[in-house]
């Protein structure tokens, strides 16, 4: 294998490796974009430095239109004195810069990059001299088009919520992904087009034939090529050699025979020479006759080259050819000059204009075999090139070649070696094609990806700073909130104990008071009855009724008194609970929210309890009527009726003094001592000691006296009997039905029912406050966790983007 072939193979391998690496890096960049998009949507709306961009913009505007470049940059940097801006700066690589090749810079200088983005630049293309962060408005690919009027304090800025920015950012990321997909398609696209143009009869067709070692294109001494003929490898047509005549190149699809006509090889010359504007272009699928596959120009495993032979330049064809050359897919323009004629006017015109589009032109000076004074010719043509295309002239060793295509074809036919000049030209063309292809297809992709990664690093640093700031804020909130939370827990515990104690104490007090009071009342019923005036024996029944009514009424009064005491106790309990509630309110910094909760709670209190609920934060008074209706103070008294026995009392023991006064004349006073009716045994004992007759007489006399005395006594003591009997009967009935216990239970229950809701309210409100505080803390912790996660995520993202950016930058170096 010759050195040339080896070098070609190496070049092709290097190029293939660049494509593969760039392809991988583009895919990785796209993965990062997807990842940020997902993170932005689900975990952390990406913090976008809107305010700083606006401030930077304002600073630039204030500096005036002439203050561009690094001075403007320094001004905007000086605004980033906040701690977060410092953090962002410290996180960015130093020096931070977009990767720009010389060519990139020229593209940037025109104000647009390959993706159509307006690229801000600091004029020099370099970072700030101190290596500080570039202006945030330097974001290019990931810059949001917010169409703001750029006023830092504008309402628009304020009203743009985080979520809206996140949504816009998400859309931007999606657009980037779509663009990267297109770039990947370009990078993986192996086709490259070489347009062969030049003066009439310069030998363009002959050159194409010589390059593919195949006499396929017709050539003649007369101008013969009348339409563009694209020669491509037959592998692009499933290996079939075929000629397609295409009326509309935009519609052409080799799989759709309606979009072209198949031309026989024998008819090719006629079509090429006599095209009457029926066809725009020919597509010639052929096989390169180079021996080894990797030597083929058309198909070498790395780049599939299409050679496009064009009509010779003249006034008619100049414009069309210029337009053709401007097409994006034309990687290389080969300009063929007839060594005998030098540059014609049309040729000069083309070269001057082509310089605007394709800085470098590959120039083949053909028919050099016909030149006798080769040095002179070479010198004259190079002088012309220097004037027409200085950049080409600067690289003339690689870009300007003096050859004879005709001789090369002859050598091929005869099987002899190619001339050295032709081989060198071929080699240069191959490497120039690969180089141009890198510039036209790989470099834009490389530049775009690096800009994406630059923006990514900037936003990642910005978000690390934002997350760090948020973590600090939350930490300080948690620190400030902790004592309050602990005090709240302690206060809740104490308040709960105190309120329960107030409730229990009140119930106990009411029970004790009711029991003592009603017990005393039942014991002293007879005293109450004595207050009723006795109208005399004739109104005894009515008197008895009055006594009974007076006792019942007194009992009712005393029960009511107990009720009032219960009300008073409830009131006191509420006052104490209200004081506890006041203390609770003092702890409630978020009183509005808690009051709303109170209202909510109060509305949930059953209607029955409304009378004792807190209204407007103050206690309502409680009346006895609010205590559950007494109804009947005693079931037994409801049905009590006077009985005859209430008027007769055979038990004298309770008032012996009265009886003795009535029977003072009786001689047997002593005998009647103690209980007369109950001491028959004593009488019998006396009779036995006094003798039978005497005793019998005495007994009769005594009996008579007793009888008379008793009747007298009963009549005279009838009112006392009534009082005594009735009070005794009522007391007995009340005791039997558990009067005292029932009222003590009732009032204790009522007290509990009246006070309990306040206790619950207090405890419930405290619980709400504790829960609200716990909720707040939990929310802080959750937000801190999110921020910590974002801090780690964006820090890693920044490093990944940086590494990837370095890897992409290294693709353009020949490592």
Ligand X SMILES: Nc1nc2c(ncn2[C@@H]2O[C@H](COP(=O)(O)OP(=O)(O)OP(=O)(O)O)[C@@H](O)[C@H]2O)c(=O)[nH]1
Does the footprint of ligand X cover residue 18 (CB under 6 A)? no
Q: Which residues contact 802 (CB under 8 A, 6 or more apart)?
A: 93, 453, 457
Does the footprint of ligand X cover residue 344 (CB under 6 A)? no
CB atoms within 10 A of CB 766: 25
Minimum CB distance to ligand X, residue 335 (Å): 11
Rounded CA-CA distance 185/23 in Å is 9
Does the footprint of ligand X cover residue 228 (CB under 6 A)? no
With CB under 6 A as the contact rule, which of the stretches 24-32, 198-206, 284-292, 474-482 interacts with ligand X?
A: 198-206
Sign (positive or negative) of CA dihedral 651, 654, 658, 661: positive
With CB under 6 A as the contact rule, which of the stretches 126-134, 218-226, 552-560, 600-608 interacts with ligand X?
A: 218-226
Does the footprint of ligand X cover residue 223 (CB under 6 A)? yes
Please name every residue paired with 191 in a beta bridge, in sequence order, or none if there are none.
304
With CB under 6 A as the contact rule, which of the stretches 156-164, 213-221, 411-419, 530-538 interacts with ligand X?
A: 213-221
Minimum CB distance to ligand X, residue 350 (Å): 13
Minimum CB distance to ligand X, residue 276 (Å): 16
Is the CB of residue 543 less than 8 Å from the CB of residue 534? yes
- What are the Cα distances from residue 438, in Å, to 261, 281, 805? 34, 27, 18
**Contacting ligand X within 306-325 (CB under 6 A):** 312
With CB under 6 A as the contact rule, which of the stretches 4-12, 154-162, 197-205, 544-552 interacts with ligand X?
A: 197-205
Rounded CA-CA distance 92/798 in Å is 8
Does the footprint of ligand X cover residue 213 (CB under 6 A)? no
Nearer to ligand X, 200 or 231 (CB): 200
Minimum CB distance to ligand X, residue 382 (Å): 19
Site for ligand X (CB under 6 A): which residue of 52, 143, 179, 204? Answer: 204
Nearer to ligand X, 202 or 460 (CB): 202
Rounded CA-CA distance 180/369 in Å is 49
Q: Which of 794, 574, 547 minimizes the C-alpha distance to 36? A: 794
Nearer to ligand X, 369 or 789 (CB): 369
Rounded CA-CA distance 418/213 in Å is 11
Does the footprint of ligand X cover residue 201 (CB under 6 A)? yes
With CB under 6 A as the contact rule, which of the stretches 67-75, 105-113, 220-228, 737-745 interacts with ligand X?
A: 220-228
Tokens representing 652? 């004298």
Does the footprint of ligand X cover residue 220 (CB under 6 A)? yes
**Contacting ligand X within 398-437 (CB under 6 A):** 404-406
Nearer to ligand X, 196 or 385 (CB): 196
Q: What's the full length of the chain, in residues? A: 815
Nearer to ligand X, 180 or 268 (CB): 268
* CA dihedral angle for residue 241, residue 246, residue 251, residue 254, rounded to 10 degrees: -10
Does the footprint of ligand X cover residue 367 (CB under 6 A)? yes
Does the footprint of ligand X cover residue 200 (CB under 6 A)? yes
Percent helix, strand, coil in the chain, to 5, is: 65, 5, 25
With CB under 6 A as the contact rule, which of the stretches 85-93, 204-212, 413-421, 613-621 interacts with ligand X?
A: 204-212
Is the CB of residue 347 less than 8 Å from the CB of residue 310? no
Does the footprint of ligand X cover residue 343 (CB under 6 A)? no
Rounded CA-CA distance 421/353 in Å is 28
Nearer to ligand X, 201 or 506 (CB): 201
Cα Rg of the chain (Å, integer): 59
Using left for φ > 0, alpha for ψ between -120 and 50, and beta otherwise, residue 39 falls in alpha
Does the footprint of ligand X cover residue 205 (CB under 6 A)? yes
Site for ligand X (CB under 6 A): which residue of 369, 412, 609, 795? Answer: 369
Residues that bind ligand X (CB under 6 A): 200-206, 219-221, 223-225, 312, 366-367, 369-370, 404-406
């Amino acid at each position: 294998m010759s050195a040339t072939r080896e070098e070609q193979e190496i070049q092709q391998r290097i190029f293939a490796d660049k494509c593969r690496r760039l392809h991988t890096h583009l895919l990785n960049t796209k993965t990062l974009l997807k990842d940020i998009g997902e993170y932005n949507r689900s975990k952390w709306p990406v913090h976008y430095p809107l305010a700083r961009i606006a401030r930077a913009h304002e600073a630039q505007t204030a500096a005036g239109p002439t203050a561009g470049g690094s001075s403007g940059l320094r001004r905007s940097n000086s605004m980033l004195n906040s701690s977060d801006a410092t953090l962002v700066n410290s996180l960015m690589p130093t020096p931070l810069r977009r990767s720009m090749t010389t060519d990139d810079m020229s593209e940037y200088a025109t104000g647009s990059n390959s993706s159509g983005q307006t690229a801000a630049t600091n004029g020099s293309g370099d970072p700030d001299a101190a290596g500080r962060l570039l202006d945030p408005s330097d974001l290019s690919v990931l810059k949001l088009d917010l169409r703001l009027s750029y006023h830092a304090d504008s309402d628009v800025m304020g009203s743009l919520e985080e979520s809206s920015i996140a949504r816009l950012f998400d859309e931007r990321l999606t657009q980037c992904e779509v663009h990267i997909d297109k770039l990947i398609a370009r990078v993986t696209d192996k086709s490259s087009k070489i347009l062969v143009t030049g003066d009439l009869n310069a030998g363009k067709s002959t050159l194409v034939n010589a390059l593919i070692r195949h006499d396929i294109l017709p050539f003649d001494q007369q101008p013969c090529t009348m339409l563009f003929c694209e020669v491509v490898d037959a592998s692009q047509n499933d290996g079939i050699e075929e000629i397609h005549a295409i009326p509309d190149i935009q519609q052409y699809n080799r799989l759709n025979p309606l979009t072209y006509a198949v031309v026989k090889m024998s008819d090719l010359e006629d079509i090429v020479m006599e095209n009457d504007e029926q066809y725009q272009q020919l597509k010639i699928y052929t096989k390169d006759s180079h021996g080894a596959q990797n030597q083929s120009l058309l198909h070498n495993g790395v780049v599939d080259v299409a050679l496009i032979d064009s009509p010779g330049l003249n006034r008619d064809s100049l414009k069309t050819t210029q337009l053709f050359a401007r097409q994006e897919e034309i990687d290389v323009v080969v300009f063929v000059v007839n060594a005998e004629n030098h540059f014609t006017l049309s040729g000069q015109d083309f070269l001057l204009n082509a310089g605007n589009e394709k800085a470098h032109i590959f120039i083949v000076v053909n028919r050099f075999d016909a030149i006798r004074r080769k040095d002179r010719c070479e010198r004259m043509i190079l002088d012309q090139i220097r004037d027409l295309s200085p950049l080409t002239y600067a690289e003339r060793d690689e870009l300007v070649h003096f050859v004879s295509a005709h001789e090369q074809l002859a050598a091929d036919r005869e099987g002899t070696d190619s001339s050295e000049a032709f081989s060198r030209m071929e080699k240069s063309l191959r490497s120039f094609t690969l180089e141009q292809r890198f510039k036209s297809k790989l470099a834009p992709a490389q530049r775009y990806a690096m800009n994406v990664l630059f923006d990514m690093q900037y936003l990642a640093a910005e978000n690390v700073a934002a997350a760090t700031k948020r973590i600090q804020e939350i930490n300080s909130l948690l620190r400030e909130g902790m004592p309050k939370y602990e005090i709240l827990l302690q206060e809740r515990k104490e308040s709960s104990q105190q309120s329960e104690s107030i409730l229990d104490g009140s119930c106990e007090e009411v029970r004790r008071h009711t029991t003592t009071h009603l017990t005393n009342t039942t014991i002293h019923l007879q005293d109450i009855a004595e207050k009723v005036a006795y109208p005399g024996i004739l109104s005894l029944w009515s008197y008895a009724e009055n006594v009974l009514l007076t006792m019942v009424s007194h009992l009712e009064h005393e029960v009511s008194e107990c009720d009032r005491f219960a009300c008073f106790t409830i009131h006191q309990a509420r006052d104490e609970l209200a004081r506890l509630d006041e203390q609770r309110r003092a702890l409630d910094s978020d009183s509005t929210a808690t009051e709303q909760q109170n209202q909510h709670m109060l509305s949930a209190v059953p209607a029955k309890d409304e009378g004792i609920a807190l209204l407007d934060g103050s206690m309502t008074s409680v009346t006895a009527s609010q205590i559950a209706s007494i109804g009947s103070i005693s079931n037994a008294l409801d049905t009590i009726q006077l009985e005859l026995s209430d008027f007769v009392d055979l038990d004298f023991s309770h008032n012996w003094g009265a009886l003795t006064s009535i029977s003072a004349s009786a001689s047997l006073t002593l005998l009647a001592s103690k209980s007369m009716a109950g001491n028959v045994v004593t009488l019998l004992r006396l009779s036995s000691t006094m003798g039978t007759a005497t005793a019998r007489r005495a007994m009769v006399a005594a009996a008579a006296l007793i009888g008379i005395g008793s009747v007298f006594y009963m009549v005279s003591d009838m009112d006392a009997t009534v009082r005594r009997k009735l009070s005794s009967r009522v007391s007995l009935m009340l005791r039997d039905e558990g009067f005292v216990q029932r009222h003590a239970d009732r009032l204790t229950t009522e007290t509990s029912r009246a006070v309990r809701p306040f206790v619950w309210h207090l405890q419930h409100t405290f619980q709400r406050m504790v829960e609200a505080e716990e909720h707040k803390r939990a929310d802080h912790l959750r937000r801190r966790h999110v921020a910590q996660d974002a801090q780690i995520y964006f820090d890693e993202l920044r490093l990944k983007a940086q590494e990837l950016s370095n890897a992409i930058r290294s693709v353009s170096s020949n490592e």
